Chains A and B, each alone.
Chain A
Amino acid sequence: MRSVKEKRPAGQKQYYRRKKVCKFCVERIDVINYKDVKLLSQFVPERAKIMPRRISGVCSRHQRQLNDAIKKARNIALLPFATE
């Protein structure tokens, strides 16, 4: 496979095009519930830090709801806290 990187002139900023869409908007998930561990854990990878929007593509409105739900889920031990 050819590498796109090599063909790019030096100094030019490199863009990786990624499909960035908000899962909650697309799937019309209107309520992000703290009990839905399966859903929430998709946004709490490995070290259990909440995945940033720029990676997940979640819109700001849903990110707010997501953060809120994850906080509640952590509080009642349905999800782990971030470990350092």
Chain B
Amino acid sequence: MRNYEIMFIVNPTIPEEEIDKINAQIEGIVTTGGGKIEKIEKMGKRRLSYEIDRHREGYYVLFVIVANGDIIKECERRLRVMDPIIKYITVRTDEEARRLEKIRNYRQKRAARRDRGATAAPAQSIEEAMQ
């Protein structure tokens, strides 16, 4: 299982309940496949940066999930055949998360070393550094 994000654009003229139904379907695919939903974010309407199938606006939805390749394939297949879906993208996020963890560890170690030396300015906290 890996971390993924699925972002899709729904036709903004359809009622909100329809969007919820689509979300429920995707959620169903993920959970039946043994994956996990971390977050479903209805980002809402926004202007598209370019026209897609005559649409200038779209309703954006973001799924943050833990899944495997089969689940992702099924989600994509379903999104492709759903009429109100204007576009979707899937992004793997675990590699980036691992990289980020490495950087944080490194920074923490360095800060600890600096603290032992206990001179100069106080070490910047990791949280601060992440801003």
Contact = CB atoms under 8 A, between A and B. Distances in A.
Q: Specify whether A and B are partners.
A: yes
Interface of A: 27-28, 30-31, 34-35, 72, 74-81
Interface string B42-60: 0000001110100000100
A52 to B, nearest CB: 21
A79 B96 CA distance: 21
Contacts of A34: 91
Contacts of A30: 99-100, 103-104, 130
Interface string B96-131: 100110011000000000000000000000000111
Nearest to A37: B49
Contacts, number: 38
Contact of A76 (B87, B100, B103): B87
A51 to B, nearest CB: 17
Nearest to A75: B89
B7 interface: yes
23 contacts: A27-B131, A28-B131, A30-B99, A30-B103, A31-B99, A31-B100, A34-B91, A35-B62, A72-B89, A75-B87, A76-B87, A76-B89, A77-B9, A77-B49, A77-B50, A77-B58, A77-B87, A78-B49, A79-B49, A80-B49, A80-B50, A81-B49, A81-B50
Contact of B49 (A27, A72, A74): A74
Residue from B50, B52, B100 having most chain A Cβ neighbours under 10 A: B50
